[in-house]
Amino acid sequence: MEARTCPEASVRRLTGANCACYRTSPVSEFDLEFRNVTKTFGDVRAVDDATFQVRRGEFLSLLGPSGCGKTTSLRMIAGFDRPTSGEIFLDGQPVGATPPYRRNVNTVFQHYALFPHKTVVDNVAFGLRMKRQPRSHIAERVERMLALVELPGVGRRFPHQLSGGQQQRVALARALINEPTVLLLDEPLGALDLKVRRRMQQELKRIHREVGVTFVYVTHDQEEALTMSDRIAVMNHGRIEQLDTPAGIYERPATRFVAGFIGLTNLLRGVVEARNDRDVVVRIAGGARLRAETIDGAAAGAEVDVAIRPEKIRMTAVRPAAADNCLEGQVASFVYQGAATEYQIALANAQEVRVIVQNVGETWRAAVVPVGTPVYLCWSRGAGLILSDAAGAQPREPGDDDEAPAAERVAWR
Amino acid sequence: MAIEGATARPAVAASASRSVRQDVLALLNRWGWVKVLLFLVPACLLLMLYLVIPIVMLIVMSFYRSTLFGVVPDFSWNNYLHFLRNPMFPNLLLRSIRLAVTVTAISLLVSYPFAYFLARGTRRFRTTLLILVMVPFWTSYLIRTMSWLPILGIKGLVNYSLMTLQLVESPVEAFLFNQFSVVLTLIHIYLPYMVVPIYLSLDRLDGRLLEAASDLGATPLRTFWHVTLPLSLPGVVGGIVMVFIAAFGAYVTPKLLGGSSGIMFGNVLADQYSGTFNWPFGAVLALIMMSVVLVLLVVASRFARLDAVFGARA
* Domains of chain A, each with CATH number or no CATH: 26-248 (3.40.50.300), 255-411 (2.40.50.140)
Mean pLDDT calculated for residue range B267-292: 91
10-residue mean pLDDT profile of chain A (413 residues): values are: 43 40 53 94 92 94 92 95 94 91 94 93 95 94 92 90 92 94 92 87 92 93 92 94 94 90 90 85 85 78 89 87 81 90 89 89 74 90 79 38 36 32
Q: Is residue B50 part of a domain?
A: yes
- How many Å apart are CA A146 and CA A154, to the nearest integer? 9
Question: B279-303 vs B88-116: helix axis angle to the nearest 10?
Answer: 40
- Rg, C-alpha atoms of chain A: 26
- How many Å apart are CA A110 and CA A411, to the nearest integer? 27
B237 in contact with A, Cβ within 8 Å: no
- How many Å apart are CA B140 and CA B197, to the nearest integer? 22
pLDDT per residue as tens digits for the range A181-234: 999 999 998 888 888 888 889 999 999 999 989 999 999 999 999 999 999 999
Q: Which residue has the higher pLDDT, A75 or B69?
A: A75
B217 in contact with A, Cβ within 8 Å: yes
Half-sphere exposure of A41 (CA within 13 A, CB side): 10
Q: Which residue of B has its CA nearest to A106?
A: B215
Q: Enumerate the residues of chain B whose CB falls inside 8 A of the CB of residue A174.
A: 216
pLDDT per residue as tens digits for the range B160-211: 899 889 888 888 888 888 889 999 999 999 999 999 999 999 999 999 999 9
Q: What is the pLDDT at residue A191?
A: 80
Q: Is residue B67 part of a domain?
A: no
> How many structural domains is chain B composed of?
2
ipTM greater than 0.85: no
Q: Is residue B314 part of a domain?
A: no
Chain A residues at the B interface, defined by Cβ less than 8 Å, are 78-80, 99-102, 105-107, 109, 111, 113-117, 126-127, 130-131, 174-175, 178
> With the C-alpha atoms ordered A121, A124, A125, A126, is the resulting torsion angle positive or negative?
positive
**In 3-state terms, what secondary structure has residue B111?**
helix
For residues B130 and B237, membership in a common domain is answered with yes
Q: How many helices (H) and strands (E) does chain B have?
A: 16, 2
B313 in contact with A, Cβ within 8 Å: no
Determine, for residues A115 and B217 on separate chains, whether the beta-carbon distance falls below 8 Å. no
Q: Enumerate the residues of chain B whose CB falls inside 8 A of the CB of residue A102.
A: 217
B207 in contact with A, Cβ within 8 Å: no
Q: What is the pLDDT at residue A153?
A: 86
Q: Is residue B298 part of a domain?
A: yes
B230 in contact with A, Cβ within 8 Å: yes
- How many Å apart are CA A403 and CA B18, to the nearest integer? 61
For residues B179 and B227, membership in a common domain is answered with yes
How far are the Cα atoms of A63, A267, B157, B189, B245 from residue B139, in angstroms, in the given order?
Answer: 58, 72, 21, 10, 20
Q: Which residue of A has its CA nearest to B217?
A: A101
Q: Which of B211, B216, B230 has its CB closest to that of A174?
A: B216
Smallest Cα distance from A77 to chain B, Å? 11
Smallest Cα distance from B292 to chain A, Å? 29
Q: What is the pLDDT at residue A133?
A: 92
Q: Is residue B129 part of a domain?
A: yes
Q: Which of B206, B211, B218 has its CB closest to that of A80?
A: B211
Q: Which of A107, A115, A116 has its CB closest to that of B215?
A: A107
Q: pLDDT band at residue B63, thresholds of 50, 70 and 90?
A: very high
Q: Is residue B69 part of a domain?
A: no
Q: pLDDT band at residue B66, thresholds of 50, 70 and 90?
A: confident
Mean pLDDT calculated for residue range B111-126: 88
- How many Å apart are CA B156 and CA B171, to the nearest integer? 9
Cβ neighbours of residue B240 closer than 8 Å, sequence gap 6 or more = B104, B108, B194, B300
B226 in contact with A, Cβ within 8 Å: yes
For residues B191 and B56, membership in a common domain is answered with no
For residues B96 and B226, membership in a common domain is answered with yes
For residues B162 and B25, membership in a common domain is answered with no
| Residue B115 scores a pLDDT above 80 | yes
Task: For residue B301, give the CATH number of its domain.
Answer: 1.10.3720.10
Question: Which has the closest alpha carbon to A367: A399, A395, A397, A343?
Answer: A343
Mean pLDDT calculated for residue range B238-258: 92
Least reliable range by pLDDT among B25-39, B42-56, B148-162: B25-39
Smallest Cα distance from B216 to chain A, Å? 5
Determine, for residues A115 and B206 on separate chains, whether the beta-carbon distance falls below 8 Å. no
Strands (E), B132-288: none
| B104 class by beta-carbon count within 10 Å (0-12 exposed, 13-18 middle, 19+ buried) | buried
Mean pLDDT calculated for residue range B228-239: 93
Smallest Cα distance from A295 to chain B, Å? 45
B9 in contact with A, Cβ within 8 Å: no
For residues B147 and B39, membership in a common domain is answered with no
For residues B164 and B264, membership in a common domain is answered with yes
Q: Is residue B73 part of a domain?
A: no
Q: Is residue B184 part of a domain?
A: yes
Test the B interface: residue of A109, A115, A170, A182 with most B CBs within 10 Å: A115
For residues B30 and B137, membership in a common domain is answered with no
For residues B27 and B126, membership in a common domain is answered with no
Cβ neighbours of residue B236 closer than 8 Å, sequence gap 6 or more = B108, B112, B197, B198, B201, B304
Q: Enumerate the residues of chain A whose CB falls inside 8 A of the CB of residue B223.
A: 101
For residues B49 and B113, membership in a common domain is answered with no
Smallest Cα distance from A27 to chain B, Å? 25
Q: Which of A101, A115, A117 has its CB closest to that of B214?
A: A101
Smallest Cα distance from B230 to chain A, Å? 7
Q: Enumerate the residues of chain A whose CB falls inside 8 A of the CB of residue B209.
A: 113, 115-116
Question: Which has the closest alpha carbon to A384: A323, A304, A319, A320?
Answer: A304
For residues B159 and B41, membership in a common domain is answered with no
Print the domain residue range for B49.
2-61
Mean pLDDT calculated for residue range B255-283: 88
For residues B126 and B257, membership in a common domain is answered with yes
